[in-house]
Structure 1
């Protein structure tokens, strides 16, 4: 397949204005093969021409560097709560909530369609498949990504330790029955989880021309044993794929350093580094409650931080130290986290929030993020998180043709003042004209072109409306342990841990 974009502007991070053109861009197969007014397809090739009309701009496709697809159908359904409380209602335990393969397919597709409509071409899905992953559910998730045409890297985000190993302050709890209940093992042990990774890797990694890939995940260091963490790291090394690890998202997680003996006063980052498992393949997710020692270790390892500012606000986790991350030279990527704590799969809201939230850090305004830094996180940081910085994140010859065509005559750019500023602070995704993934147009003229979008959305509406009473019943049952988790959150909030990532506090 050959596509020629004519009379388009092209985003260029090195250019003073952020763009050049009008020019032409030639796509042959899944690769950008030429940029310039003199590019021409091979004689006799079947060429599709897309005219940019001298007012449309080709951007790199947006990269959603951190996401959890299993909650796609629950957006807007919960009030804002701290993570430890939010998770009780996000994925409560109930046998009737175990999804069928079709349900897993539909809920994955919900966000994928929204991402394609708004110009996101790549997603890193850290999928927690409750109660545990099976081949049938893995296939359903991957098939949804295969069918819609998005580029996806998918891991299995599952805990491998009992709940009592993940929480601080349990020794203060006088409800023995509650504490004892936390010692129950997770539904699938390490051998079972590694077996599911074998299936994911062998069945799906590199499929569909390399558009679908596997990643690996420990969920978080406090949620897994050292042998399992080492086994996951070994898979990451042998297959050359990213390893996802949530670290220091909340103050409760910072408190684990002194409240869980196995951490021996070390933060989760320091603990991971001491194990020799903090590497250039790791996506350190959130990193809100990190200090300079943590950031130095992340930088030394060459790891990437996945920054999720909307989720951090929704859950009250705090404001991540973005400027310090950049000071240490750490690549920062941007992520939605999940549709239930962003309430959208539109990455433009994350872009704008990243450009705004750090302005209340108390730092001098010269140290606030620039629009260019935010866009660098979106594209270069996202590509680094995928371990594909040599072929994604730029409109450049030899790079993969993952592209977003935006109309500069749209509301966000009228009048046209500054490209970077208007991309970060004004664009909402409404000006996306074409989304291309791997050289294939997957969204244009207001519709996703790869699937019957209307039929899928209608099916999803009917299916999940029928499931809602089960969700509500399970959430009511989860409320019985709410006071115990709330006590943990409140104790951490009151603790002096030598740092603060909240604003507006005394």
Structure 2
């Protein structure tokens, strides 16, 4: 398949205005072969005339996502992660999806992302209660059929609940303690067999649009042997390893409340075990200190920032400027639909550009639009280990592109492209989405699947699931007092710093900020 974008503007991170053109962009097969004026269309090529008003962007990269909650958006109010997870994924076999349900809920996310020019997603899928091969196949097939580029991992715990959390010894109710002490649904051997299936069946499928990744969920949720086995898979196959780290203050307290961490944060513990490296995607990294950030920088890991999720769940504010000052690469993710109620990296980018303005630092320390876009594209490409192939519009790069109408309201008048991309665009001006050289969405409609039929089927299917979901949530709600106790105890624990805008009682005050003009490292 060959496509010529004629007379278009092209995003260029190195250009003073952020773009070049008008020019032409020639796509042959799944690659960009030329970005230059006056290209002659090969025989049979589709010619798309940009009329000097359309901008070719790299496809957006959603560097962190969980598809199994796509059908649950709007169903859970804001609350801390530890109680939120009770409603998000109740451990009830009655909620185990059929393959068709898994396909439909995955397709819901793919449709929304492709409509908005999001061409790549990293799906850290928790397939409760266990990752059955038929369900793995259904999720991967939805991504294949939609046309999106996807990395798929299996986010499954391996340890009992009591081993993952602090302050468990303070829970005295026998029924709750019995639940906390119950083993995880699947042992490491079963999870590794599921990875054999995922990698053997799907890694490189759909002309390499579908790739496998691995996930330990979080260091506190798995044993060291299973963590090491997945790290070995990541290194052998050169695929990303997803690890949620220090998302909440509860997780920060593990260093003193869980003996196995030996007074180390989960970042330090992971690094000491030799399991932190360039293949690692560190998800969230909110409650990190400067030692953690130096460790992350030394390892070459990429941090995936999820600011909408972090606010929705009250987790805190990741130290953006300090992270960049330490040299840690940052990418952007939506997290799951249930804690954002949309799957829109555009709005994530906007919030990333705004949230850190109130972090108590001088204005010279605030994020710039250029830095946010760099996280979106360069950081995202690094996270999926395809730097130079994704996140750029250049000869030789993969043809994952979004065509944006600069005559849309967000760009009228066009004053500063980068500012207006970050702060003014929400995806509504995306008129075409291309993945691997194939047009997969145009004017809000997917090209490869029957969008209306899928949405109708999803409405009917998940409406029928509501009674079972309500019953499961009512049952899991019996554990709510225990999880609230854990979250409240952590909130009242002094960990030496705070990542909340207003420190909780017992938190040490944030360290004073040295004005930019007087910092020792200022030129």
- Find out whether 1:365 has 2:372 as its counterpart: no
Q: How does 1:44-443 map to 2 (within 5 A)?
A: 45-443=43-441
For 2:41 and 2:385, the matched residues in 1 are separated by: 30
Gaps of 5+ in 2: 505-523
d(CA) in 2 for partners of 1:434, 1:258: 51
Cα deviation for residue 180 of structure 1 reads 2.9
Tell me the distance in 1 between the aligned counterparts of 2:93 and 2:444: 39
Does the 8 A contact of 2:41 with 2:47 survive in 1? no
CA distance in 2, matches of 1:349, 1:468: 29
SS at match of 1:53: coil
Q: CA deviation at 1:181?
A: 2.2
Q: Secondary structure at the match of 2:381?
A: helix
Shift of 1:38: 3.2
Q: CA deviation at 1:346?
A: 1.5
Q: Give CA-to-partner distance per residue, 1:415-468, whole Å, 9 cap, x none.
A: 111000000000011000100000000011331111000000000000001101
User: 1:3 aligned to 2:3?
Assistant: yes
Q: Give 4+ residue runs of structure 1 displaced > 6 Å after superposition.
A: none
State the TM-score, normalized to the length of structure 2. Answer: 0.95
CA distance in 1, matches of 2:445, 2:89: 32
User: Does the CA-based 8 Å contact 2:151-2:213 persist in structure 1?
Assistant: yes
Whole-angstrom CA distance in 2 between matches of 1:173 and 1:476: 20
Which residue is 2:22 aligned to?
A: 22
d(CA) in 1 for partners of 2:297, 2:269: 15
In the alignment of these two chains, the number of paired residues is 504
Three-state SS of the structure 2 residue aligned to 1:236 is helix
TM-superposition CA deviations, 1:65-111 (whole Å, max 9, x none)? 00000000000111100000000110012221000000000000001
Q: Deviations over 1:305-361 (max 9, x none)?
A: 000000000000000001011001111000000000011012111011101111110
For 2:357 and 2:256, locate their aligned partners in 1 and report how far apart those are by CA, in whole Å: 32
Matches within 5 A, 1:27-42: 27-42=27-42
Q: CA RMSD in A?
A: 0.8
**What is residue 503 of structure 1 aligned with on the other side?**
501
Query: In terms of mean alpha carbon deviation, does 435-444 or 171-180 score higher?
Result: 171-180
Are the equivalent residues in 1 in contact too, given 2:65–2:124 (CA < 8 A)?
yes
The C-alpha deviation readout for 1:221-262, integer Å capped at 9, x for no partner, is 000000000000010011110000000000000000000000
